[in-house]
Amino acid sequence: MSYFKHDTAIVDEGCTIGADTKIWHFSHIMPGAMIGEKCNIGQNVVISPKVVLGKNVKVQNNISIYTGVICEDDVFLGPSMVFTNVINPRSAIVRKAEFKTTVVKKGASIGANSTIICGITIGEYAMIGAGAVITKNVKAYEMVYGNPGKHQGWISEYGHQLEFGKNGEAICPESKQIYKLENDSVKRLA
């Protein structure tokens, strides 16, 4: 076994878990889940069948990641955040064939106690504020918070809010990376 599993964690047969991943107290990894290398799965986490987590994904405590969720590399999921996977759930109606796909792109961060409604994409390096309710797609480098989630600005790959000059460019104060705002979208130039 090339990963760490706490004694209280349950890892079902039929999942794939990458090297150097850590699975902590009372977590359950279900069959068919695919977890990349160097992930950290916090306490009391459930990862359902067919969930895909890339490399270096940080899953904080008390999160259920349901079938239909795909998280790319370097994603951060804050404590007690929530993913949904059915748009109109009913206890008496089985809708397992209606699970919606939710994609969290590389480097995105989702704050504590946020709710992500199924069927959307959260763009690369986006930042979802704590307690946000996200009901629609979030662009790359976009900062969104509130209920419902609203655009609040743009964020660098290092997590700093970007201030764009008249030329439409911004520099991250930590990394010195340069970003361009054009047609209501941001991309990194250098």
Per-residue pLDDT, averaged over 30-38, amounts to 98
Per-residue pLDDT, averaged over 91-105, amounts to 95
Asked if residue 22 belongs to a domain, the reply is: yes
Quote the number of domains for the chain: 1
Asked if residue 164 belongs to a domain, the reply is: no
Asked if residue 168 belongs to a domain, the reply is: no
Q: Residue 116: pLDDT band by 50, 70, 90 thresholds?
A: very high
The CA distance from 178 to 170, in Å, is: 6
Per-residue pLDDT, averaged over 53-76, amounts to 98
The CA distance from 188 to 6, in Å, is: 39
Asked if residue 24 belongs to a domain, the reply is: yes
Average pLDDT of the chain, as a whole number: 97
The pLDDT value given to residue 1? 79
Asked if residue 170 belongs to a domain, the reply is: no
- pLDDT (tens digit, 9 = 90+) per residue, 143-184? 999 999 999 999 999 999 999 999 999 999 999 999 999 999
Q: Which residue range(s) make up the domain with 22?
A: 4-159
Q: Residue 188: pLDDT band by 50, 70, 90 thresholds?
A: very high
Asked if residue 185 belongs to a domain, the reply is: no
CATH number at residue 88: 2.160.10.10
The CA distance from 173 to 157, in Å, is: 11
Asked if residue 184 belongs to a domain, the reply is: no
Count CA atoms within 13 Å of residue 128 on its CB side: 36
